[in-house]
Amino acid sequence: MEKEQWVTDGKAAFRSVFDGEPDCISVAPGRVNLIGGHTDYNDGYVLPVAIDRHTVVAGRRRPDRTVVAHSQTLAKTIRFDLSSVEQQRDASWGEYVAGVIDALNTESSLGGMEFVITGDIPLGAGVSSSAALELSVGALVRDLFDLQVDDRTLADRCWKAETEFVGVECGIMDQYAAAFGKADHALFLDCQDQTHDAVRLSDDVRIVVIDTNVKHELAASAYNDRVSECQEGVAEFDALLSHTVTSLRDVSVEEFERHAESIRQPVRDRCEHVISENDRVRMAAEALESGDSERCGTLMFASHESLKELYEVSCPELDLVVRCAHETEGVIGARMTGGGFGGSVVALVRPDTISSFAETLHKVYPAETGIEPDVYTCRTSDGVSVSTSQQ
Ligand code: GLA
């Protein structure tokens, strides 16, 4: 949907809950990550794309210290006083809202506010509805209270909200993609120094996202287990190598191979995935830069294989979709995106193959799993932006 439409929808959503008009409407995109699975919290590289699925927040200030947030998508309202933000721990969307407000409340004293949240990002599909919610709430608050916070700081505050307030040990990729996404481009993001280059996507491929519509129980605990296994790998390599190792980014493929035998399993496999994946992301960015989408696609398939075999975060449903992709001519690459154990696959597809690929998926996937997949072609999008009601 176009941005103008979102502004109109945001205003309408606001009017359906509150009297009068919102002052600002903010819009933030979801994302898919073309390659770089589980590298962001290891100070590595990722290649996300902001997609044309958005979270919209329309709101205005209040004369008191109360925050009222209504989710149109979930038909739920939360209300809290700014002095008791800390108590908003209900393990749901409200916690993300409270976390962002808490993280921004350090800039200067915020006042009360009321806003409505709407949008079309599928929840739990692995396209980061949470970061889009954080960034859109954050950008709205920044505008309403005229906070002197640049986009990088905003992304960082939203990341802190997720890691420190909500308690998910994620990396910075999702918040960064929602903040800095650029239409027609992927972001080659270095998670160590938090810089990025926009890499143009070629016109000869489309991004197709396939939501498996499964989310296995294991997802949250396995994510945190992988984070600690990688930390163990860092400690091992720091002891083994003559230079300091503060993250797996500091270990080369050659150093890994030299010492692999002495690292216990499954830590060795986890490290091998991360170290080789960083190389794949670099090569994929170079391939896209030079217009070689095929090469990027081949690296995506290799990434999936590594996530499945070495990092062990895939599941039969994700593997089935990637297998279908591999067997369909005109699908040049595919891999799971997001944390894993369900969620979505991202595929690079030739435009004239999209409908036959979708047809195959709608036939094969339900036949094997009993579940209908959601298949959608994504356009790329810019990062978060805010409009005032008058615009
Ligand atoms: C989740 C996290 C991201 C990233 C991916 C795996 O989506 O939110 O930070 O770690 O998993 O690449």
Q: Whose CA is nearest to atom 11 of ligand 1?
A: 339
Does some domain include residue 83? yes
* Residue 173 Cα to ligand 1 middle (Å): 7
- Segment 304-310 shows an average pLDDT of 98
Q: What is the pLDDT of residues 374-387, one digit of tens each?
A: 999 999 999 999 99
Of the ranges 126-140, 213-227, 233-247, which one carries the lowest mean pLDDT score? Answer: 213-227
Q: Return the CATH number at 120.
A: 3.30.230.10
Q: What is the pLDDT of residues 74-129, one digit of tens each?
A: 999 999 999 888 777 776 899 999 999 999 998 667 999 999 999 999 888 889 99
Residue 30 Cβ inside 6 Å of ligand 1? The answer reads: no
- Segment 211-231 shows an average pLDDT of 88
Burial pattern 45-82, b for ≥16 Cβ within 10 A else e, equals bbbbbbbbbbbbbbbbeeeeeebbbbbbbeeeebebeb
Does some domain include residue 138? yes
Q: What is the CA radius of gyration of the chain?
A: 21
pLDDT band at residue 42 under the 50/70/90 scheme = very high
Does some domain include residue 294? no
Does some domain include residue 17? yes
Does some domain include residue 369? no
Q: Whose CA is nearest to atom 2 of ligand 1?
A: 170
pLDDT of residue 231: 97
How many domains, in total, are found in the chain? 1
Query: 181 near 380, Cβ under 8 Å?
Result: yes
Active site residues: 174
**Residue numbers of the domain that contains 75:** 3-200+381-388
Residue 373 Cβ inside 6 Å of ligand 1? The answer reads: no
Q: Whose CA is nearest to atom 8 of ligand 1?
A: 170
Q: What is the pLDDT of residues 292-305, one digit of tens each?
A: 999 999 999 999 99
Q: Answer yes or no: is pLDDT of 372 > 80.
A: yes
Residue 41 Cβ inside 6 Å of ligand 1? The answer reads: yes
Does some domain include residue 80? yes
Q: Which sign does the torsion angle of CA 152, 157, 245, 243 carry?
A: positive
Residue 226 Cβ inside 6 Å of ligand 1? The answer reads: no
Query: Can you give the pTM of this predicted structure?
Result: 0.95
Does some domain include residue 146? yes
Does some domain include residue 300? no
Give me the chain's average pLDDT, please: 94
Q: Whose CA is nearest to atom 10 of ligand 1?
A: 38
